[in-house]
Copies of this chain bind each other. A is one copy, B any other.
Amino acid sequence: MLIVGELINTSRRKVEAAVRDRDADFIGELAERQVAAGADYVDVNCGTLVGEEVEALPWLVKTVQARVDVPLCIDSANPEAIEAALRVHRGQAMVNSITAEGDRFESFLPLLQEHGASVIALCMDDQGIPETSEQRFEVALRLVEDLRAAGLKPEQIYIDPLIRPISTGSQFGVTALETIQRVKQHLNGVHTICGLSNISFGLPKRRVLNMTFLALCLSAGLDAAIMDPTETVNMAILRAAEALLGRDEYCRNYLEAYRQGKLSI
């Protein structure tokens, strides 16, 4: 499974200060720690810096890529900021995120085409986030059809079912898991991705829910997770689930993680 490290986000107070001060050491170190822990992509988000994203986001891209060799997940709702960031990004970036909302889809599409980026596509449209997994799958299907018609390959598309907290609806875990299963069953080659931590919002002992949800998502067929890779318990669960689901021949990755001391809980 691909891991997108989520820590470089200005909704975190220290990160916001570091981006405001253009503190390259702080940001670079946060990128390095995530990659050392197992991140395949590093997410960069400075959405709280309203009006400054167009300058700050490309600075983040350059600063992170000066320190680590992985591609970035460029995370913004602002197409101008995305464009500025894609221009300075080396390699194939992932754009976080497109939706089936008319305006957003139209403004992001040319950027994906021009830069050959992968994209996270959220299961929501102008009517909002659909209630059921059937309806979310319909939005996913529409997104995939439209993105493919625009020239993207299935492998470039990461469908995000969107996670709503189970504290606000007992079925929201199942809705997300079923959407992942449907996409994997019916949309050949298309990937699935989600952020883990929103599921536990409003409940105590969120770590227990997040790690358990990771195992359940893997079982449903999740291909990529946006998460904190430095949270060792999540990485331990991830390696264990891959071994248990027959996706780790001879338990090689599990045993390698053990030797590296990465199976602590």
The interface of chain A, by Cβ under 8 A from chain B, is 166-167, 170-171, 173-174, 177, 199, 203-205, 207-209, 211-213, 215-216, 219-220, 233, 236-237, 239-241, 243-246, 248-251, 254-255, 258, 263, 265
Contact = CB atoms under 8 A, between A and B. Distances in A.
24 contacts: A166-B244, A167-B251, A170-B251, A171-B246, A173-B243, A173-B244, A174-B245, A203-B251, A203-B254, A203-B255, A204-B258, A204-B263, A205-B263, A208-B237, A208-B265, A209-B240, A209-B244, A209-B254, A211-B237, A212-B237, A215-B215, A216-B219, A216-B241, A219-B219
A208 to B, nearest CB: 5
Nearest to A218: B216
Secondary structure of the A contact surface, majority rule = helix
A18 B233 CA distance: 37
Given A166-B243, A208-B237, A219-B219, 20 more contacts: A166-B244, A170-B246, A170-B248, A170-B250, A173-B244, A177-B219, A203-B243, A203-B255, A208-B236, A208-B240, A208-B263, A209-B240, A209-B243, A209-B254, A211-B237, A213-B244, A215-B216, A216-B216, A216-B245, A265-B265
A173 B212 contact: no
Contacts of A248: 170
A245 B173 CA distance: 6
